Amino acid sequence: RGEEAVEALNVFYYCTYEGAVDLDAIANENERKALEGIISNFGQTPCQLLKEPHPPHLTMTNPKTQRFLGGPFSPGVEIGAQVLVVSNDGRLLFSGGHWDCSLRVTQLGKGKLVGRICRHIDIVTCLALDLCGIYLISGSRDTSCIVWQVLQQEGFSCGLSPRPMQILCGHDQEITCVAINTELDMAVSGSKDGTVIVHTIRQGHFIRTLHASGDSRIPAKISGLQ
């Protein structure tokens, strides 16, 4: 409705809008039947949920590098979104791909390393944070995945629990991608062996194994779980 809807060509026949026509107030029977027929044939437009425009997207007017965060990454590891994850409140950076097989936690405000956990026996190849920011899952060349709990202090992320919540196994080759969803109680991992394995988060129970078919033998990304 309104001028913006007209300009966007996002308008419908007026009788289809909620509350646009009061059939009980129409005395002329023929007119009422005609409107009923129009509504029946054209259907009804869904209820308007919002009365105000969506807030505008935030834009970066003066982009510049705030801080360089480096580390001894392992040769051959592509440094990108697969091995770098930021906590939901933007305070911490979780990173993998380090030469010493560690999972590191960096405080973004100060660029200070606040955690270094070595539980995998080979390079951490992928990371994923659940939508609620409660759990982090890491995958490694050692074919295992580990679920970690994100620690909170006064409502803010402050690190990772040093003790793994779950250690998930089942793949025969390097883990290439991971995903996690707390509400579904589901952790999913993909491997170079062409399999995708699903576990529960809280109990670490195996659910099922999916096998890739066709040309795409190596799962590169797991989407749709969030």
Average pLDDT over residues 177-189: 94
Residue 216: pLDDT over 60: no
Residue 37: pLDDT over 90: no
Least trusted range by pLDDT, from 3-7, 129-133, 155-159, 196-200: 3-7
Quote the radius of gyration of the chain (alpha carbons, Å).
Answer: 26
Average pLDDT, the chain: 86
* Structural contact between residues 35 and 26, judged by C-beta atoms closer than 8 angstroms: yes
Adjacent-strand bridge partners of 153: 156
Percent of the chain with pLDDT over 90: 53
Residue 125: pLDDT over 80: yes
Please list, residue by residue across 195-215, b when 16 or more beta carbons sit within 10 angstroms of its beta carbon and e when fewer do. Answer: bbbbbbbeeeeeeeeeeeeee
